[in-house]
Amino acid sequence: MRGIILHTVRFIVFVLFQVLVLNHLEIQWGIYPMLYPLFILLLPFEMATVPLLLIAFALGLSIDVLSNTFGLHASSALIFAYFRPVIFKLFAPRDGYENTEESNIYTMGTRWFIYSFGLLLLIHHTWFFLIEIFKLNEILLLLRKIGLSVPFSFLLALFAQFIFSSKKKSER
Amino acid sequence: MRNLIAFFQRFRIFLVFALLQVVALSMYFTYSDFPRFQMLTTAGAINAEILTIRNDVTKHFNLEETNKQLQWENKRLREKLKNSLYKENKGVITVDDTLFRQNYSYIPATVINSTFDKRDNYMTIDIGKNHGIKRGDGVFSSRGVVGIVHLVSDKYAVVKTVLSKNINIDVMVEKGGSFGLLKWNGLDAKRGSISGISNDMRIKKWSKVVTRGGSGIFPRGILVGRVEKKGYIEGKPLWDITVRFSEDFRSIQHVYVVKNLMQEEFDTLQQQIPEDSEEPEL
Q: Any idea where the domains of chain A sit in the sequence? A: 2-165
> If you ran DSSP here, which 8-state letter would residue B250 be given?
G
Digit-coded pLDDT (tens) for A82-94: 998 888 888 877 7
Return the CATH fold of B170-246. Thrombin, subunit H (2.40.10)
> If you ran DSSP here, which 8-state letter would residue B175 be given?
T
Cβ distance A133 to B188 less than 8 Å, yes or no, reads: no
Weakest mean pLDDT among A139-148, B82-91, B100-109: B82-91
8 Å CB contact between A34 and A149 = yes
- Among chain B, residues having any CB pair with chain A shorter than 8 Å are 12-13, 16-17, 20-21, 23-28, 31-32, 40-42, 44, 47, 50-51, 54, 58, 113, 115-119, 122, 124, 158, 185-189, 250
Which one, of B140, B125, B154, lies nearest residue B39 by Cα? Answer: B154
Per CB-CB distance under 8 Å, the chain A contacts of B41 are: 65, 68, 70
Chain-wide mean pLDDT for chain B? 79
Pick B28's closest partner by Cβ from A57, A131, A141: A131
Best of B10, B185, B187, B233 to mutate (most A CBs within 10 Å, chain A) = B187
Q: What is the DSSP string of B59-73?
A: GGGGHHHHHHHHHHH
What distance in Å separates the CA atoms of residue B158 and residue B128, rounded to the nearest whole number? 9
Strands (E), B43-137: 104-114, 122-125
In chain A, whose CA is at the least distance from the CA of B40? A65
Model confidence at B281: pLDDT above 50: no
Residue-range domain boundaries for chain B = 170-246
Half-sphere exposure of A130 (CA within 13 A, CB side): 10
What distance in Å separates the CA atoms of residue B33 and residue B47, rounded to the nearest whole number? 21
3-state secondary structure of B158: strand
Q: Which whole-number Å values give the CA distances from A73 to A57, A59, A128, B87, in the listed order?
A: 8, 8, 7, 61
- Distance between A138 CA and the closest CA of chain B, angstroms: 9
What distance in Å separates the CA atoms of residue A61 and residue A63, rounded to the nearest whole number? 5
Pick A71's closest partner by Cβ from B25, B47, B122: B25
Residues 6 or more apart whose CB falls under 8 angstroms from that of A93 comprise: A108, A112
Digit-coded pLDDT (tens) for B39-85: 566 666 677 777 777 777 777 777 777 887 887 788 778 777 765 55
Cβ distance B24 to A132 less than 8 Å, yes or no, reads: no
What was the pLDDT predicted at A124?
92
The residue ranking higher by pLDDT, B174 or A29, is B174
Pick B250's closest partner by Cβ from A26, A30, A138: A26
- Distance between A73 CA and the closest CA of chain B, angstroms: 9
pLDDT > 70: percent of chain B: 84
In chain A, whose CA is at the least distance from the CA of B157? A68
Model confidence at B161: pLDDT above 60: yes
10 Å CB burial of residue A144 (0-12, 13-18, 19+) is middle
- Among chain A, residues having any CB pair with chain B shorter than 8 Å are 19-20, 23-24, 26-28, 30-32, 49-50, 53-54, 57, 60-61, 64-72, 74-75, 78-79, 82, 131-133, 138, 141
Half-sphere exposure of B66 (CA within 13 A, CB side): 14
Number of A–B residue contacts, CB under 8 Å: 93
Cβ distance B44 to A72 less than 8 Å, yes or no, reads: no
Cβ distance A78 to B21 less than 8 Å, yes or no, reads: yes
User: b or e along B12-34 (b: 16 or more beta carbons within 10 Å of the residue's beta carbon)?
Assistant: ebeebbeebbebbbebbeebbee
Half-sphere exposure of B278 (CA within 13 A, CB side): 0
What was the pLDDT predicted at B41?
64
What was the pLDDT predicted at A172?
38
Weakest mean pLDDT among A153-167, B119-133, B173-187: A153-167
Query: Which ipTM was obtained for this model?
Result: 0.80
- Distance between A14 CA and the closest CA of chain B, angstroms: 15
- Distance between B86 CA and the closest CA of chain A, angstroms: 46
